[in-house]
Amino acid sequence: MGARDLLARLQQPGDSKILLVVADGLGGIPGDRRGSELEAAATPNLDGLARRGVSGLLTMVAPGIIPGSGPGHLALFGYDPLEYDIGRGVFTALGIGFDLRPGDVAARGNFCTMDGNGVITDRRAGRIDSERARELVEALRSVEVPGAEVLVEPVKEHRFLLVLRSDGLGDAVDDTDPHRTGEPPREPTPRNETSRATAEAVASFVKQARQRLADREPANMVVLRGFQALPDIPSMQSSYGVDACAIAGYPMYRGVARLLGMHVVERGPDLDDEVEALHESWSAHDFFFLHYKATDAAGEDGNFDAKVAAIEALDARIPRVLELEPDVVVVTGDHSTPSQLASHSWHPVPVVLAADTCRRDPVETFGETACLGGGLGQLRGEHLMALMLAHAGRLTKFGA
Amino acid sequence: MGARDLLARLQQPGDSKILLVVADGLGGIPGDRRGSELEAAATPNLDGLARRGVSGLLTMVAPGIIPGSGPGHLALFGYDPLEYDIGRGVFTALGIGFDLRPGDVAARGNFCTMDGNGVITDRRAGRIDSERARELVEALRSVEVPGAEVLVEPVKEHRFLLVLRSDGLGDAVDDTDPHRTGEPPREPTPRNETSRATAEAVASFVKQARQRLADREPANMVVLRGFQALPDIPSMQSSYGVDACAIAGYPMYRGVARLLGMHVVERGPDLDDEVEALHESWSAHDFFFLHYKATDAAGEDGNFDAKVAAIEALDARIPRVLELEPDVVVVTGDHSTPSQLASHSWHPVPVVLAADTCRRDPVETFGETACLGGGLGQLRGEHLMALMLAHAGRLTKFGA
């Protein structure tokens, strides 16, 4: 029995409220400095949570594994990311609020630049602006392929969503995106027999897309990745008995939240706006996920100081958040994004949980090194959900 | 999906180099002293790795389980030792470079001493020398059994290899070695129907061996253990995308390395010789396993001071090793061998990993107690491989 199945069995009702603040990419490393971004930042309010709470470090997938945003968030919500292995196509569809139906196969598309030899020179076509991409999406909407309806939606900048709608389409199709420049797009190869028709439809789509974009500059081709049908995933309501509300400024995180049946408040990405939305939503739900993107964005940009500033900006909003008096408040990340690596990393993510019911530990500051001595120890991210529910009095005893 | 399957999917090419130094039986306990052998030893260079790296403790199989050398090494190479349960027969065959073929059943043999009542008085026949053992092996080579070809090979001192070659031989046969003196050899009992013919062939071999050795002194009998056919185990190359090279002075460790498809450099057991072999091999591979036996040998002998000296000898070679500037260097053991117990033990094994990409921790000396506060925490040995690959930039992100 997985952790989530156990919680489904042990859930009990209550009027307690749980708040999970996810500072995306929160964890860091010292590199040449004395500490990480979180350790360098002045965080009196997060430190206050650490003093009255219990801290630790989360490994979202497994030691050494670099979590994508999807797996990282699934773990935080108590879903084993190795069991629910969700592709980019589905996240993209959910993120823009697309009505993905059972049996649809979704893929994430990029407009890209191809040279005269058919070799990709820019996988993002110079990050063309969203308006231009919408025109290109229009051009692709008239594509017809045998045996499936074709749906194309713009996402943001060079990104789009492709959905093939038909009965009996398999989704085991390899990416056409070679994931690097200097190579031609790949053939959409099926990995099983039921996905052969899907691969043929994709090949037909790509061929026609190439013709329709041939005279466009710089976006004269498409690459596709993450083919997947809507997975069958139980809701947070059924899993934990909570009425969950997500406040997130970016499509990807709204997509994860919708996948799990959360009510999504489309506010942000400005943090003040998100915090006010939290206040406005507070009476209507009992589990709140607040997503803060700026920490990850600064880390991805390789900007140590900007990440420090983003953390301090979060810290400054903590008092306003605590005015709501959540019974359980957790601050953590979905993965680490050390600015020295300018990318997601495998390093465990610091976490602090504050509640009247917690066993306080000696941790007095919120930081990676301090969390090593925390009462939660090092644990799989998947287990955080049970800890939040338990501290909120929302779990009954296991066994007599 | 197991950890190794996940890595197979996430591997990415790179020109980074990883060095894994295994000090066999490294871990210890304080006993009546103030610290273990590692803590008593002067190890300025290993302490230097601890200061710039990240430390922890590895449990190779499960808490309380005493790992054999095979399982311990399999775990270090990322293979779950409970999934790949490999017997001594196979390791012995691989260790001497024997061409074990699919379907062969291998067993490790000992020449032993039996008294007039058929009771074993010395399981190693006074550790007879290798030359004498070769003569005895010659005497056994003429044994013929019904339904299988008999192959006998000398190993070292009292040890030999028995291989039965035929079609359809099962390998579920109990050891004839009672694993203690004062008892007669046991019958080779089959544990399933497909192994009945194997057990009969073994019984016939043992009966004839007893006859042929009857007038030899002190080696007048044989005991056999670890019957096993060649397991189907994926290579390190296919699992992780690394070109692995093993430098090991003893057959057993070369055997493990060959089983996983590593290139084996037959140098050592002298450590200086092994380190020079490492230098000579450095440009040709990207993952290196250097095996150091002296720590375990001293522990098995129950000699605390000798184990301290063996650790200090390793420490003294660390600077020469670091001249190679590996991107990731790890020093650990395959299990603990406390000299107070004079045997392998279940105690977690200290590990240090140093790389520019690591999250340094407060650990300043390399030792069991200090490692308790290390950033790697306590984890299954199986996860070390992912951590080495991640720190070397050889894993891509999991999920979108």
3 state SS for B347-400:
CCEEEEEEECCCCCCCCCCCCHHHHCCCCCEEEEHHHHHHHHHHHCCCECCECC
Chain A residues with CB under 8 Å of B398 CB are 61, 65-68, 71, 81
Q: In sequence order, which residues have a C-beta less than 8 Å from that of residue A138 and are 6 or more positions away?
A: none
Indicate whether B219 pLDDT > 90: yes
Distance separating alpha carbons of residues A115 and A218, to the nearest angstrom: 10
Chain B residues with CB under 8 Å of A369 CB are 361-362
Q: How many helices (H) and strands (E) does chain B have?
A: 14, 13
Distance separating alpha carbons of residues B347 and A348, to the nearest angstrom: 24
Mean pLDDT score, B83-110: 88
Distance separating alpha carbons of residues A28 and A209, to the nearest angstrom: 41
Is cis: bond before A154, omega within 30 of 0? no
pLDDT digit string (tens) for B151-165? 999 998 999 999 999
CA distances A37 to A55, A312, A336, B47, B239, Å, are 17, 10, 11, 26, 34
Indicate whether B1 pLDDT > 80: no
Indicate whether A285 pLDDT > 90: yes
Indicate whether A162 pLDDT > 90: yes
Distance separating alpha carbons of residues B254 and A102, to the nearest angstrom: 52
Distance separating alpha carbons of residues B199 and B189, to the nearest angstrom: 6
Cβ contact, residue pair B387, A346, below 8 Å: yes
Mutation target vs B (from A175, A372, A382; most B CBs, 10 A cutoff): A372
pLDDT digit string (tens) for A301-348? 999 999 999 999 999 999 999 999 999 999 999 999 999 999 999 999
Beta strands in A80-146 (DSSP E): 105-114, 120-122
Confirm or reject contact between B283 and chain A (CB < 8 A): no
Distance separating alpha carbons of residues B180 and B203, to the nearest angstrom: 20
Secondary-structure breakdown of chain A: helix, strand, coil percentages, each rounded to the nearest 5: 35, 20, 45
Query: Which helix or strand (DSSP H or E) is residue A287 part of?
Result: strand A287-292
Amino acid A4: pLDDT: 86
Residue A395 C-alpha, separation from nearest chain B C-alpha, in angstroms: 28
Distance separating alpha carbons of residues A239 and A244, to the nearest angstrom: 11
Least confident of A215-224, B92-101, B144-153, B285-294: B92-101
Residue A225 and residue A175 in contact, taking contact as beta carbons nearer than 8 Å: yes
Chain A residues with CB under 8 Å of B379 CB are 63, 378
Indicate whether A95 pLDDT > 80: no
Map residue A384 onto helix, strand or coil.
Answer: helix
Indicate whether B94 pLDDT > 90: no
Confirm or reject contact between A13 and chain B (CB < 8 A): no
pLDDT digit string (tens) for B32-68? 999 999 999 999 999 999 999 999 999 999 999 999 9
Provide the pLDDT confidence category of residue A1 given band limits of 50, 70 and 90.
Answer: low
Chain A residues with CB under 8 Å of B377 CB are 57, 372, 377-378
Distance separating alpha carbons of residues A320 and A69, to the nearest angstrom: 27
Distance separating alpha carbons of residues B371 and B397, to the nearest angstrom: 28
Cβ contact, residue pair B388, A63, below 8 Å: no
Q: Give the DSSP per-residue string, B112-134.
A: EEE-TTS-EEETTTTT--HHHHH
Amino acid B97: pLDDT: 77
Name residue B360's amino acid. R
Chain B residues with CB under 8 Å of A351 CB are none
Burial of B343 from C-beta contacts in 10 A (0-12 / 13-18 / 19+) = middle
pLDDT digit string (tens) for A190-208? 999 999 999 999 999 999 9
Query: Which helix or strand (DSSP H or E) is residue B278 part of?
Result: helix B271-281
Q: Look over chain A and give the mean of its residue pLDDT values, rounded to a whole number.
A: 95
Identify the closest residue of chain A to B392 by CA–CA distance. Answer: A64
Name residue A238's amino acid. S
Mean pLDDT score, B221-228: 95
Cβ contact, residue pair B357, A368, below 8 Å: no
Cβ contact, residue pair B6, A82, below 8 Å: yes
Measure CA of the first residue to CA of the last residue in chain B; give whole Å.
18
Residue B128 and residue B157 in contact, taking contact as beta carbons nearer than 8 Å: yes
Chain B residues with CB under 8 Å of A252 CB are 400
Of residues B337 and A147, the one with the higher pLDDT is B337
Q: Which two tokens stand for residue B97?
A: 């470079």
Residues in chain A: 400
Residue B396 C-alpha, separation from nearest chain A C-alpha, in angstroms: 7
Amino acid A85: pLDDT: 83
Report CA dihedral (A26, A31, A33, A34) to the nearest 10 degrees: 70
Q: How many helices (H) and strands (E) does chain A have?
A: 14, 13
B182 backbone φψ class: left, alpha, beta (φ>0; ψ -120 to 50): left
Indicate whether B400 pLDDT > 80: no
Mean pLDDT score, B263-283: 97
Least confident of A57-66, A91-100, B223-232, B259-268: A91-100
Cβ contact, residue pair A372, B395, below 8 Å: no
Residue A344 C-alpha, separation from nearest chain B C-alpha, in angstroms: 8
CA distances A239 to A78, A233, A243, A389, Å, are 9, 10, 11, 11
Q: Mind spelling out the 3-state secondary structure of B56-69? A: EEEECCCCCCCCCH
Mean pLDDT score, A114-120: 94
Q: Which two tokens stand for residue A58?
A: 């989360």
pLDDT digit string (tens) for A223-276? 999 999 988 899 999 999 999 999 999 888 998 998 999 999 999 999 999 999
Q: Which two tokens stand for residue A222?
A: 């498409």
Cβ contact, residue pair B362, A372, below 8 Å: yes
Mean pLDDT score, A154-176: 94
Q: What are phi and psi of B52, to 5 degrees?
A: -95, 0
**Out of A66, A69, A226, closest to residue B390 by CB:** A66
Q: Look over chain B and give the mean of its residue pLDDT values, rounded to a whole number.
A: 95
Residue B286 and residue B242 in contact, taking contact as beta carbons nearer than 8 Å: yes
Q: In sequence order, which residues have a C-beta less than 8 Å from that of residue B135 and are 6 or more positions away?
A: none
Count interface pairs A-B at CB distance under 8 A.
96
- What single DSSP character describes residue A217? S
Indicate whether A290 pLDDT > 80: yes
Mutation target vs B (from A66, A69, A191, A259; most B CBs, 10 A cutoff): A66
Burial of A276 from C-beta contacts in 10 A (0-12 / 13-18 / 19+) = middle
b/e for B68-83, b at 16 or more Cβ within 10 A? bbbbbbbbbbbbbbee
Mean pLDDT score, A137-148: 94
Distance separating alpha carbons of residues B391 and B287, to the nearest angstrom: 13
pLDDT digit string (tens) for B129-140? 999 999 999 999
Indicate whether B95 pLDDT > 80: no
Residue B50 and residue B364 in contact, taking contact as beta carbons nearer than 8 Å: yes
CB contact residues (below 8 A), chain B span 332-391, against chain A: 356-362, 373-377, 379, 383, 385-391
Residue A278 and residue A246 in contact, taking contact as beta carbons nearer than 8 Å: no
Name residue A8's amino acid. A
Identify which of B66, B100, B118 has the alpha carbon closest to the alpha carbon of residue B227. Answer: B100
Amino acid A251: pLDDT: 83
Residue B65 C-alpha, separation from nearest chain A C-alpha, in angstroms: 21
Percent of chain A with pLDDT over 70: 100
Residue B172 and residue B181 in contact, taking contact as beta carbons nearer than 8 Å: no
Cβ contact, residue pair A62, B357, below 8 Å: no
Cβ contact, residue pair B390, A345, below 8 Å: yes
Distance separating alpha carbons of residues A391 and B55, to the nearest angstrom: 31
Residue in the structure block whose two tokens are 């891509």: B396
